[in-house]
């Protein structure tokens, strides 16, 4: 997962190429996303593939990202391709939604460029970014979205968390695990897996890492007007996608109702949570005594102990001093393409 507040960067005005008429493809590349940093040659290939009538923005700061998205909102490309990880998606979609306002958003293509790419995997988007962009360029040559098979276009909702947008929200152990993960300075699936194994071993012996990662969250929670009967949780989380990383699928209900999203309030000990992980990985419900498991249109979370609520959106870390409201957000039109030869 990326950390948008210090990993996301965004297209400066002098890095944006545009045409006089509206471009057909807009491409935003987060050059500081983990996988993109490791493959600078790939970024040059992507940049060369964009035509002179399209728009390219390379990204280096939140401020520049907002400028680039404002330019996209003005030029109105048919498709916006985003090359980066989960944090890149969260930050870019938030900036696009703010820039477009009440106008319809363009179709979105996700080019995998992060360390984890949890959102892309959850949405069935696999393969190489160059292949995906090549397919988009070929699509433009054939006439754009009108020529795209229905099977390659699908709708998917976002969450609105406060004034930000993303696919998943998490507080408690999810937030604390990410803090420890980023503190390693080596974000990758392997680092995350090793940290999870260390945390599991610490839980078995009641070690300090387990205590560090499992600080309880004291919060009042209301879903669609119903007050939850509990106010202490190991984790509070919500999502419109099934996965949360490393193949774990706690949000198995996320597609149950198109107007609602999955919400979980996990209330158990560290050892109790550890025992549930095989079921979570299999996409099965946890034991009812350990979780409040709902789908909802609206969730309000307010800290019950006067501490700021630490939480994550798609891997980016935030804190909230007051009540935080989560809503079913805008519905995206997503384009899922592979190699045009595949």
* pLDDT digit string, tens, across residues 111-123: 988 888 999 999 9
Q: Is-contact 58 11, C-beta < 8 A?
A: yes
- Indicate left, alpha or beta for 4 from its phi (over 0: left) and psi (-120 to 50: alpha): alpha
Q: Which two tokens stand for residue 238?
A: 């919500």
Does 206 share its domain with 309? Answer: yes
Do the Cβ atoms of 108 and 54 come closer than 8 Å?
Answer: no
pLDDT band at 1 (very low <50, low <70, confident <90, very high): very low
297 Cβ contact list (under 8 Å, min separation 6): 224, 259, 260, 261, 327, 328
Strand partners, 299: 223, 326
255 and 202: one domain?
yes
Query: What pLDDT, on a 0 to 100 scale, did the predictor assign at position 150?
Result: 82
**How confident is the model at residue 338, as a pLDDT?**
55
- Closest among 327, 307, 330 to 319, alpha carbons compared: 307
Q: C-alpha 17: how far from its chain's center?
A: 27
The bridge status of strand 235-239 relative to strand 164-166 is: unpaired
Q: What is the pLDDT of residue 8?
A: 34
pLDDT at residue 339 greater than cutoff 50: no
Q: State the average pLDDT over residues 87-116.
A: 93
The pLDDT of residue 16 is 42
Output the domain CATH number for residue 16.
3.40.50.10330
State whether 118 and 183 are in the same domain: no
Residue 191 lies in a domain: yes
Find where tokens 């996608």 sit. Answer: 241
Q: Residue 271: which CATH number?
A: 2.60.200.40
Residue that is written with structure tokens 């960067």 in the block: 9
From the list 29, 86, 18, the residue with the least C-alpha distance to 54 is: 18
Top pLDDT among 145 and 180 is at: 180
200 lies in the same domain as 110: no
Question: How far is CA 71 from each of CA 22, 57, 166, rounded to the nearest angstrom?
Answer: 11, 10, 21
> What's the CA angle centered on 59, arms 55 and 63, to 5 degrees?
105
Lowest mean per-residue pLDDT among 12-21, 54-63, 274-283, 331-340: 12-21
Same domain? For 228 and 248 the reply is yes
Domain membership of residue 95 (yes or no) is yes
pLDDT digits (tens, 9 = 90+) for 146-159: 888 888 899 999 99
Q: What is the pTM of this model?
A: 0.88
Give residue 50's pLDDT. 87
Strand ranges for the chain from DSSP E? 11-17, 25-30, 55-59, 79-84, 107-112, 153-161, 164-166, 168-172, 217-223, 226-227, 232-233, 235-239, 261-266, 291-296, 298-303, 309-313, 316-320, 324-335
**Helices 173-183 and 189-205, axial angle in degrees (round to 10):** 120
Number of domains comprising the chain: 2
- 101 and 188, same domain (yes or no): no
Residue 179 shares a structural domain with residue 298: yes
Residue 17 and residue 154 in one domain: yes
**35, 85 Cβ separation under 8 angstroms:** yes
Whether 44 and 112 map to the same domain: the answer is yes
Q: Where are the alpha helices (DSSP H) in 39-186?
A: 40-49, 62-75, 86-100, 118-122, 129-142, 173-183
Is 324 part of a structural domain of the chain?
A: no
Q: Is residue 145 part of a domain?
A: yes
Q: Are residues 241 and 265 in the same domain?
A: yes
> Please, what is the average pLDDT of the chain?
88
Using the CB atoms, write b or e for 98-136: b if 16+ within 10 Å: ebbeeeebbbbbbbbbbbbbbbbbbbebebebbbbbbbb
Higher per-residue pLDDT: 112 or 313: 313
Confidence (pLDDT) at 325: 98
Q: Name the helix (H) or strand (E) containing 204.
A: helix 189-205
Domain that holds residue 225: 168-313
């Amino acid at each position: 997962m990326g950390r948008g507040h210090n990993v996301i960067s965004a297209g400066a005005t002098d890095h944006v190429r545009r045409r006089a008429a509206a471009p057909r493809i807009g491409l935003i590349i987060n050059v500081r996303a983990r996988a993109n940093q490791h493959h600078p040659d790939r970024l040059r290939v992507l940049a060369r593939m964009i035509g002179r009538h399209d728009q390219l923005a390379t990204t280096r700061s939140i401020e520049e990202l907002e400028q680039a998205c404002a330019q996209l909102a003005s030029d109105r490309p048919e498709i916006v391709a985003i090359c980066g990880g989960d944090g890149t998606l969260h930050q870019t979609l938030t900036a696009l939604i703010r820039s477009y306002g009440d106008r319809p958003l363009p179709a979105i293509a996700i080019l995998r460029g992060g360390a984890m790419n949890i959102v892309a995997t959850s949405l069935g988007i696999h393969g190489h970014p160059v292949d995906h962009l090549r397919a988009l360029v070929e699509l433009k040559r054939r006439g754009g979205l009108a020529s795209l098979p229905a099977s390659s276009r699908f709708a998917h909702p976002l969450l609105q968390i406060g004034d930000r947008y993303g696919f998943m929200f998490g507080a408690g152990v999810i937030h604390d695990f990410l803090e420890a993960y980023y503190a390693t300075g080596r974000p990758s699936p392997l680092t995350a897996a090793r940290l999870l194994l260390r945390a599991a071993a610490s839980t078995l012996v009641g070690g300090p890492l387990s205590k560090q990662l499992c600080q309880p969250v004291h919060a009042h929670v209301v879903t669609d007007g119903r007050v939850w009967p509990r106010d202490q949780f190991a984790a509070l989380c919500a999502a419109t996608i099934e996965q949360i990383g490393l193949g774990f699928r706690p949000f198995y209900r996320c597609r149950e109702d198109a107007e609602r999203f999955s919400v979980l309030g996990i209330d158990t000990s560290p050892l109790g949570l550890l025992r549930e992980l095989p079921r979570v990985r299999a996409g099965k419900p946890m034991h009812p005594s350990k979780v409040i498991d709902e789908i909802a249109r609206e969730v309000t979370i307010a800290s019950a102990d006067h501490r700021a609520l630490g939480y994550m959106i798609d891997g980016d870390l935030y804190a909230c001093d007051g009540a935080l409201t989560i809503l079913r957000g805008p519905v995206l039109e997503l384009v899922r393409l592979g190699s045009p030869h595949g």
